[in-house]
C-alpha cells in the first residue's frame, strides 16, 4: 500500500512523577544516551517517503510502587546490570515513593504514558 507506520509508547515526560522517575533512572542508565527524548525524536524514513505525520495518544496505568519496581525490572538496562546495580535501582525507585508528593500520598498512583505514532507514504 506504500504506507509506513511506526509507534512507540513511553511515560509522559511532561508530568512531575515521570520527570522524577526518569531523572532517577537517568543517573543509573549510563549506556543509554537518549534516555528520555529518543522515542520522541523526529524520524526520517529516507528519501523514498514523504513528510512524516505524528500522532500523540495520552493514557495512563494505575501503579503501586511494587508494580513500578516490577516494570523497571523488565527493562534491558536492569536485566543487564550487576546484582549490586539492580539493588541500587530498586532502592532508588522505592526512595522515590517516600519523597515525591504524588507517590507518597497513597497506595496507588497514575503513571501517564504517551503513545506516539508516525506515519508516512511512499513517494
Write out pLDDT tens, residues 80-105: 889 998 998 888 888 877 777 766 66
Which class would CATH give 3-121?
alpha beta
Write out pLDDT tens, residues 75-84: 888 888 899 9
pTM exceeds cut of 0.75: no
DSSP readout, 6-19? EEEEEE-TTSHHHH
All structural domains of the chain with their residue ranges? 3-121
In this structure, the dihedral spanned by the alpha carbons of residues 15, 42, 115 and 4, taken in order and rounded to 10 degrees, is: 180
Q: How far is CA 92 from CA 23, 86, 101, in A?
A: 11, 10, 16
Q: Taking Cα atoms as reference points, which of 58, 76, 71, 80 lies closest to residue 21?
A: 71
Amino acid at each position: 500500500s506504500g504506507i509506513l507506520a511506526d509507534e512507540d509508547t513511553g511515560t509522559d515526560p511532561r508530568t512531575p512523577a515521570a520527570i522524577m522517575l526518569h531523572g532517577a533512572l537517568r543517573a543509573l542508565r549510563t549506556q543509554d544516551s537518549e534516555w528520555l527524548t529518543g522515542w520522541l525524536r523526529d524520524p526520517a524514513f529516507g528519501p523514498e517517503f514523504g513528510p512524516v505525520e505524528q500522532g500523540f495518544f495520552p493514557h495512563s496505568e494505575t501503579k503501586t510502587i511494587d508494580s513500578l519496581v516490577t516494570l523497571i525490572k523488565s527493562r534491558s538496562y536492569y536485566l543487564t546490570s550487576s546484582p549490586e546495580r539492580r539493588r541500587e535501582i530498586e532502592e532508588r525507585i522505592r526512595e522515590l515513593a517516600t519523597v515525591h508528593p504524588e507517590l507518597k500520598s497513597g497506595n496507588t498512583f497514575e503513571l501517564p504514558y504517551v503513545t506516539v505514532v508516525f506515519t508516512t507514504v511512499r513517494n
